[in-house]
Amino acid sequence: MTALRAATLPLGPRVRGLPYLCAIHHQLYQDLFDWAGRLREVNLYLGRYAILPLCPDRGGGNALMQALEQEDYLSGLPRDTFIERLSWFYGEINVLHPFRLGNGLTQRIFFEQLAIHAGYLLNWRDVDPAGWSAACQQSAMGDLAPLVAIFRKVVSEARESE
């Protein structure tokens, strides 16, 4: 069901924020969770890594989205700069882990759409899940190099016909 909902999601607005991230999550998981689309209010752990609780005012997520807006949603950047900034934002939102479940797919769709608006495409087909997980964990520790390396393989420039 989630895959079907993902396939039918329209290209979202160029201007996006935390409410749009929540809207994607709701669209994907509304058939599975009563809390689909709502930011989590419980502490979570992934393995031995603590995931930070959200502030009551959602300050962390709002601050990230404001920073993304200040960077014009990464539009107009050369590919290498786009990849560096995309990696940073992806890593930060991944650490935020805004939902109890379903963060990975929600985040991928959010950033796929952001990339399209910025003139790029993301193709996850050849990404090794274990390598991706390790890169995300390393980014949480401040090392973006593995995430950047993966995005160098994933990001391509969009052509006019696409």
Kindly report the CATH number assigned to the domain that includes residue 147.
1.10.3290.10
In a domain, residue 101? The reply is yes
In a domain, residue 162? The reply is no
List pLDDT tens digits, range 38-58.
988 877 766 676 656 665 555
In a domain, residue 32? The reply is yes
Q: State the pLDDT at residue 14.
A: 72
In a domain, residue 116? The reply is yes
Domain count, the chain: 1
In a domain, residue 72? The reply is yes
Residue range(s) defining the domain that contains residue 140: 2-6+13-39+49-157
Q: Percentage of the chain surpassing pLDDT 90? A: 66
Q: Percentage of the chain surpassing pLDDT 70? A: 83
In a domain, residue 88? The reply is yes
Q: State the pLDDT at residue 41.
A: 80
Q: Assign 3-class secondary structure to the chain.
A: CHHHHHHCCCCCCCCCCHHHHHHHHHHHHCCCCCCCCCCCCCCEEECCEEECCCCCCCHHHHHHHHHHHHCHHHCCCCHHHHHHHHHHHHHHHHHHCCCCCCHHHHHHHHHHHHHHHHCEEECCCCCCHHHHHHHHHHHHCCCCHHHHHHHHHHEEECCCCC
For residues 145 and 151, what is the distance between their CA atoms, to the nearest angstrom? Answer: 10
In a domain, residue 44? The reply is no
